[in-house]
Amino acid sequence: MKRTDIRNIAIIAHVDHGKTTLVDAMLKQSHIFRDNQAVENRVMDSNALERERGITILSKTTAVIYRGVKINIIDTPGHADFGGEVERVMNMVDGVLLLVDAVDGPMPQTKFVLRKALQAGHRAIVVVNKIDRPQSRPNHVVNEAFDLFVDLGASDEQAEFATIYTNGLLGHAGRSPLKMHDSLEPLFEAILDRIPPPEVDTEAPAQFLVTTSFYDDYKGKIVTGRLYRGTITKGQALVRIDREGEVRPAKITQLFTYNGLHRQEVESASAGDIIAIAGIGDANIGETIADANQPEALPTIKVEEPTVRMTFGVNTSPLAGREGTHVTSRKLRERLFQETERDVALKVEETDSADVFVVAGRGELHLGILIENMRREGYEFQVSKPEVIFHEGENGEKLEPTELVEIEVGSDYQGVVVELLGRRNGLMRDMQVREDGSVHYVYVVPTRGLLGFRQQFLTATRGQGILNSIFYAYEPFSGQMDTRDNGSLIASEGGVATTYGMHQVQDRGTYFISPGQDIYEGMVVGQHIRDVDLEINVCKDKHLTNMRNNKGSESIRLDTPRQLSLDDAIEYISDDELVEVTPKGWRIRKKLLNAEDRRREKKRRDLGMA
């Protein structure tokens, strides 16, 4: 039968197209909040990092009631690196709202998320958002969206999508850009009309697929997913079927459904609803919770493989253990494998060394968010430069991941962008000049050419360029490339950085440190102006003598040091460098701290290459 009292939808879009803002408006117009309640913007972005960066990292579920129908809404991330979050929620919903910016139109991530929705057989409502922007071009954007549906192999039914125009910030919607309502009523009506209700069998044995999980300090592990068939009651005897098909007994202690932003405890839930279960602490994503009398497994969740990896290791610098709470390899291992239970797109492997682990993910940002979260939780560790994961082709040829890159820059920066991407073995696929004079490029670039590229791109375009990329395919190895123009300034001695010592050699490059900072031998203190490393002594002090200077003491001025963010530091490092990450900050260092050891290693590499 069809449960006409429920609709399950996911909101999917490219990053920064306004998904979370639109969900805000839907919640407010559904009277989820009290009239006098103070509500923050982007209320669904509850994670501290999400609010700081202005992006959605974790998919989240909420529910609103419209005309007696419960609409379960899943807000998904828009950044390509968190595509795993989008892939796994597709089996929880029956349709999607595809959000498209009224100026930008479909972007790389739009294609990725729409492809996943179409493959799952879902119908879409195209929502053209930010209709109030001065350069909005709604008709052009709708035509581009239709072309995208056709290119991705949509069925005739899927290609006949409904189109709603919205201003998410004001909470306005309409079926025409010229006739907007002062509410989101047209959007809610379209959801009820176009998104099919879930087809369920409430009399059959229970089947529930674990899609997301999180930890509650009081209730323990809580897993969320869709109840496909049957009914689940609190205290009911169930079984957990893991990915290998092994059946283990399970019993739920608490059962929740979603109501607005909150989980509401209930005694029982019926098929078709999105629910949360507490009490099954060993349940993992992709596993099935089923009736104990008739245990039948659902297909497990599969996501695309990681493309980038880096090593996480115990901090071995001379300053190790001063700032972190969790510093041992046992704690590091526990935390990394705990993350794989929540994030199915992340892979962790142990190495020959008990202190080092290889962590693979979808991109630099995917791994960078994990590093930042661990740092804030009190972990102290060191990470290596990200590197791509190569595959072997059918004929034994070496294959590497490539990305589809879309860049928009002013006409003044055309030459520098073409030069930068040419050095990274990029191939231009398309180039268009927009009405406002900006130039839109489409490139296919090896993933390793984009590691550390974003900072150089922003510097070259003076912060005015827009860069978006998404995984394209595994292509034959494109050859060697040199993407780093500058070497590092390396501390030759340990101690405390002095103004005098830094002033003596500040013409050699740009500093990452300030006077008074603790320094150790082998620590990277700045960027050299040339393409080779240089050892300098920034701890040198001015020796006092009994000789007087007629000119008096000269004031020493230092250039302002470059403040590297954690993402910048990970982008900056080369193959022989590490980022030392602590709760109080981060430092860049050489893998081999001793200068003699580095020279011997370089000589050995040169002889090996010869």
Binding residues for GTP: 16-21, 129-132
Q: What is the amino acid identity at position 185?
A: E
| Binding residue numbers | 16-21, 129-132
Coil, strand, or helix at residue 523?
strand
Name the DSSP class of 561.
P
Distances (CA, A) of 564 to 305, 420, 473, 486, 573: 30, 22, 32, 16, 12
Count CB neighbours of 168 within 10 A. Answer: 25
CA 402 to chain centre: 18
Show the DSSP H helices in 424-548 as ranges.
447-450, 453-460, 499-504
Cα–chain center distance at 493: 38
Between CA 176 and CA 162, with CA 139 as vertex, the angle to 5 degrees is 55
Q: Identify whether the C-beta of residue 405 lies closer than 8 Å to the C-beta of residue 450.
A: yes
442: Cβ contacts below 8 Å, ≥ 6 apart? 404, 405, 406, 428, 429, 430, 431
CA–CA dist 124, 116 (Å, integer) = 12
Number of C-alpha atoms within 13 angstroms, CB side, residue 235? 2
In angstroms, rounded to a whole number, what is the distance separating the alpha carbons of residues 588 and 96?
A: 44
Pairing of strands 69-75, 6-13: parallel
- Kindly state the helix (H) or strand (E) to which residue 289 belongs, with its residue range: strand 288-291
The CA distance from 224 to 567, in Å, is 31
Distance CA 301, CA 292 (A): 22
Calculate Rg over the CA atoms of the chain.
27
Place of tokens 């009399």: 203
- The whole-angstrom separation of Cα 284 and Cα 436 is 50
Could you give the CA distance from residue 526 to residue 529 in angstroms, rounded to a whole number? Answer: 10
> How many CB atoms are located within 10 Å of the residue 495 CB?
16
Contacting residues for 418 by C-beta, under 8 A, at least 6 apart = 428, 441
From first CA to last CA, the distance across the chain in angstroms is: 72
The amino acid that residue 487 corresponds to is G
